[in-house]
Structure 1
Amino acid sequence: MTSDDLLIRGAEQSDGEEIFALAREFAVTFRPERAPFDAALPRLLEDEDAYLAVATVGGTIRGYLLGYAHLTLFANGPVAWVEEAMIERAYRRHGIGRRLLEDFETWARSRGAGYVALATRRAAEFYGALGYEVSATYYRKLLR
């Protein structure tokens, strides 16, 4: 794969099948189901505070990133959060995740975000190499 083969672009409704396949690979706690996915995708594509981009190699989607910009009180304005970032296993370590994250950071800056944050369980080394640092402990409580 060359950098010329890689394209980062906004996701489209027609990308649903390929994104869904990657989302199923991503999920650990939850198993994505098609009906809720199909209901959520158009809403995300219309949400101006949501960023949903895909990375294609040779026209095939090999990764995606879903993130948000939202207002805060403590940070004197908006911040950005990476909700999901997934690269197809065979295409990891080829710069796809880096390019998606850089594009998200550019998008977040354009919205005045003070920082980008995320939670990760398996990719700490990757994010550290891109200048991210541990800032807090992540807690969650399952509601269903």
Structure 2
Amino acid sequence: MTGLPETEIASATAADRDAVIALWRACTLTRPWNDPVADFDSAIGTAASDILLLPEGGAPVAAVMVGFDGHRGWVYYLAVHPDHRRKGLGRRMMDAAEAWLRARGAPKIQLMVRSDNADVIAFYEALGLGRQDVVTLGRRLDGKTGA
């Protein structure tokens, strides 16, 4: 039971940008070195990515960014408003992300969680995702600092 009526999960549109970014900020998902406006804008309206949201009263209470690079499905910015947690909405959004990826033929789903975020790691493990023996390497291409 979600605690919300079975509201339809929908794809975000440009009109949802400010509300989705406010949700990401309320969930402390944004970082100073990442531009959430650019992240939002690059994810909507393409065949390879989307932002799925669950609205209540005209504003999203949960959202997830999903993408398929042709090899793996990726999940980013899974957010459930703090006032709506522990109602099954995170699981519902992950189910929607997985369905979106399956519809595009993605054979695998992956996501990254900061290693010190034990609660979020436990959430994903409870959903059946497992730790993988990989090292993530990266480098900024935009001249900014930060992960």
TM-score by length of 1: 0.79
Alignment of 1:61 with 2:60, yes or no, is yes
Query: Structure 1 stretches (4+) deviating beyond 6 angstroms?
Result: none
For residues 22 and 56 of structure 1, what CA distance do their matches in structure 2 show? 11
Tell me if the contact between 1:5 and 1:57 (Cα under 8 Å) persists in the aligned partners: no
Tell which deviates more after alignment, 1-10 or 11-20.
1-10
Q: Deviations 1:49-88 (Å, cap 9, x if unpaired)?
A: 00211112343211210121012xxxxxx32011221111
Distance 1:54 1:9 in 2: 5
Residue aligning to 1:104: 97
Gaps of 5+ in 1: 72-77
Q: Does residue 142 of structure 2 align to residue 130 of structure 1?
A: no
Q: What CA deviation, in whole Å up to 9, does each residue of 1:66-117 have, x standing for no partner? A: 121012xxxxxx3201122111112111111111110110111111111111
Equivalent in the alignment of 2:25 = 24
Identity of aligned residues (%): 23
Unaligned runs of 5+ in 2: none
* Larger fraction in strand: 1
Alpha-carbon distance in 2 for matches of 1:28, 1:15: 17
Distance in 1, matches of 2:135 and 2:32, equals 17
CA RMSD of aligned residues (A): 2.3
Return the offset for 1:5: 5.1
Residues paired across the two proteins, number: 135
> What is the TM-score of this pair, normalised by structure 2?
0.78
